[in-house]
Chain A
């Protein structure tokens, strides 16, 4: 039997200062005023804008007032100008997205899942990605002339890359230990892709989709201002020629709304597809 180890005397404990952690009750008091505060700022800015217009600081040929803009929007709807342009733009955006998103996805899958795919696809994609795609516009006009095609091509190019890059990041970040586990339980290659890789990459794919939607509108703004053949962009081009700032502002608001709606769509998609992430109970 060896001697028991020497136990040192206990030092007297140092007394730490305590602090409050902000828990629910404390936070809630501030939440409501915050939402109100944000809305108030927006409303105040609009009012300021209107006032500046009323007192003549902002003349209509600089920037139309909010009220004028609303009036103009009503006129444009009534005359059917806006509907037609909106429809044209929507169609172009949808076509570009419908082509660009799947292509970006497929390329990313091929490059993320196959060694050969990575070697063949990734470096050209990374090279092209550094090219500012809007700079290709002159080439697209030379190739496709005017009309729908160059606009759709521009949307396609703008959409393809964010989807590709984000999907690839998602695939690369899939937890290898989950793949290992799936293999253990008898999953073949395809089953691993379907039940582990794709769901694991989904959050990033949706990020790519959100970026893609934003870029789709941007590409359209630029593409449609090339020539006057329909769409919100060419409506703006005409308004510019006629010095109609009110019409320009209406078009800008439409773009903003389209962006907002696309964002909302992706948010809803995220809510539905990624319930597991927040641990929300989908009942």
Chain B
């Protein structure tokens, strides 16, 4: 398969397109249980990928491997140097105030200003001086999101960053993430259980199942996307059926114990 790039000659078949993530045949086992059994994942620069899958399917495990936090995994992984992660739990340092957590690891003269700006973007500028233990669950999660967004990464890994938020704040944060990624051309992988969120934000959605990326769907819808539109609905239904969710009045499939 060859492709034509505008303004260039035909690309020789041997040159592969540039990638922001190139992971091949990733395997990870915990004791007897093989959680990842050969995951292949390529992400283009600037692409927004949504990663879905049942609870316990290994999404966090995969994200940690991509983030370079798991040296026990097998396979080949190539990622950029600067990777930033918003973890599933906020993981804020309890002994540093909110803004210092956001600023963690930043260098330069205007660190405080940048951190405050990032907090303002997630709607928490007024809590900059608060201790993490005094933040609500959703606030802590947003501080963690600000910490991930503030440092122009080459790859942004988001592990259910909006799970603890109310509907309105969640919409705001989705918009913020979409804006930032578009504005800075970020490459992002978003783990989410919210199918609508995936279709709203992603250029492509993949479903992790039984240790491999079992399904994949490109989302070529114009932005901003309208969840009530028909094309949106098609994508939503497709993803839901891959996730085993069908008509609410039918019996649910049995839970599988691997």
A245–B84 Cα distance when bound, in Å, is 70
Chain A residues with CB below 8 A from B251, complex form:
2, 5
**Bound form: Cα–Cα A185–B85 in Å:** 8
* A274 CB, nearest partner CB in chain B, Å: 8
| Cβ-defined partner of B93 (8 Å) among A186, A196, A202, A277 | A196
Known: A5-B249, A184-B67. A177 touches B83 (CB 8 A): no
A183 interface hit (Cβ, 8 Å)? yes
From A180, A185, A277, name the one whose CB has the most chain B CB atoms within 10 angstroms: A185
Known contacts A279-B131, A279-B133, A279-B134: A184-B93 contact under CB 8 Å: no
B220 within 8 A of A: no
A181 touches B (CB below 8 Å): yes
Q: For chain B, what secondary structure do more than half of its interface residues adopt (helix, strand, loop), or is it mixed? A: loop
Q: Is the CB of B131 within 8 A of A185?
A: no
Q: Establish whether residues A199 and B95, one from each chain, have CB atoms under 8 Å apart when the complex forms.
A: yes
Task: Tell me whether B89 is interfacial, beta carbon within 8 Å.
Answer: yes
Cα A270 to Cα B153 in complex, Å, equals 38
State the Cβ distance, A198 to closest chain B Cβ, in Å. Answer: 10
Knowing A184-B85, A185-B105 touch, does A199 contact B93 (C-beta < 8 A)? yes
A184 and B84 contact, CB distance less than 8 A: yes
Question: Is the CB of B151 closer than 8 A to any CB of chain A?
Answer: yes
Q: What is the size category of the interface that chain A forms with chain B? A: 20 to 34
Contacts of A191 in B (CB 8 A): 105
Taking the complex as formed, is A143 at the interface, i.e. its CB lies under 8 A from any CB of chain B? no
Task: Knowing A4-B249, A187-B105, A195-B104, say if A181 contacts B91 (CB, 8 Å).
Answer: yes
Chain A residues, Cβ within 8 Å of B84: 184-185
Q: Which residue on A lies nearest to B94, using beta carbons? A: A276
* Docked pose: A181 CA to B249 CA in angstroms: 42
Is the CB–CB distance between A178 and B105 below 8 Å?
no
Q: How many A-B residue pairs have C-beta atoms within 8 angstroms? Tell me.
A: 58
Query: Which chain B residues lie closer than 8 Å to A180 at the CB level?
Result: 69, 91
Q: Please pick, from A1, A177, A199, A276, the residue contacting B87 in the complex, using a CB distance under 8 A.
A: A177
Interface residues of B in 7-62 (CB under 8 A from A): none
Q: Is B147 an interface residue (CB 8 A)?
A: yes
What is the CA–CA distance of A87 and B198 in the complex, to the nearest angstrom? 72
- The verdict on A140 contacting chain B, using a C-beta distance below 8 Å, is no
Is B257 an interface residue when CB atoms closer than 8 A count as contact? no
Q: Contacts A5-B250, A184-B83, A184-B85 known; A276 to B131 CB distance under 8 Å?
A: yes
Interface residue? A275 (CB, 8 A): yes
A121 within 8 A of B: no
Query: Is A182 interfacial (CB-CB < 8 Å)?
Result: yes
B134 to chain A: which residues have CB within 8 Å?
279
Is the Cβ of B151 less than 8 Å from the Cβ of A185?
yes
Give the residue among A184, A186, A199, A279 with the most B Cβ atoms within 10 A.
A184
B91–A277 CB distance below 8 A: no
How distant is the Cα of A43 from the Cα of B241 in the complex, in angstroms? 76
CB distance from A188 to the nearest CB of B (A): 10
Q: Are B250 and A276 in contact (CB under 8 A)?
A: no
Interface positions of B from 75 to 104, Cβ below 8 Å from A: 83-85, 87, 89, 91, 93-96, 104
Pair A276/B69 contact, Cβ less than 8 Å: no
Contacts of B83 in A (CB 8 A): 184
Which chain B residues numbered 196 to 239 have a C-beta less than 8 Å away from chain A?
none
Report A-chain residues with C-beta under 8 Å of the C-beta of B89.
177
Q: Mark A101-141, 1 if CB is under 8 A from B, else 0.
A: 00000000000000000000000000000000000000000
Determine how close the nearest CB of chain B comes to the CB of A222; give it in whole angstroms: 38
Q: Give bound CA distance, A177 to B64, whole Å.
A: 11
Cβ contacts under 8 Å, B87 to chain A: 177, 181
Q: A4: which B residues are within 8 A, CB to CB?
A: 249-250
Contact between B147 and A185, CB atoms less than 8 A apart? yes
Q: How far is the CB of A236 from chain B (nearest CB, A)?
A: 43
Cβ-defined contact, B85 with A178, below 8 A = no
CA distance A183 to B84 in the complex (A): 10
CA distance A279 to B95 in the complex (A): 10
Query: Digit string of B238-258 for contact with A (CB within 8 Å is 1, else 0)?
Result: 000000000101110000000
Cα–Cα distance between A184 and B83 once the two chains are bound (Å): 7
Task: State which of A5, A177, A186, A276 has its C-beta within 8 Å of the C-beta of B91.
Answer: A177
The complex places the Cα of A275 from the Cα of B97 at a distance, in Å, of 11
**Cβ contact within 8 Å between A276 and B133:** yes
Chain A residues proximal to chain B, CB less than 8 Å: 1-2, 4-5, 177-178, 180-187, 191, 195-196, 199-200, 202, 275-277, 279
What would be 6 A-B contacts, judged by CB atoms less than 8 Å apart? A2-B250, A5-B249, A181-B85, A182-B105, A187-B104, A199-B95
The 3 closest A-B pairs by CB, nearest first: A185-B105, A186-B105, A181-B91
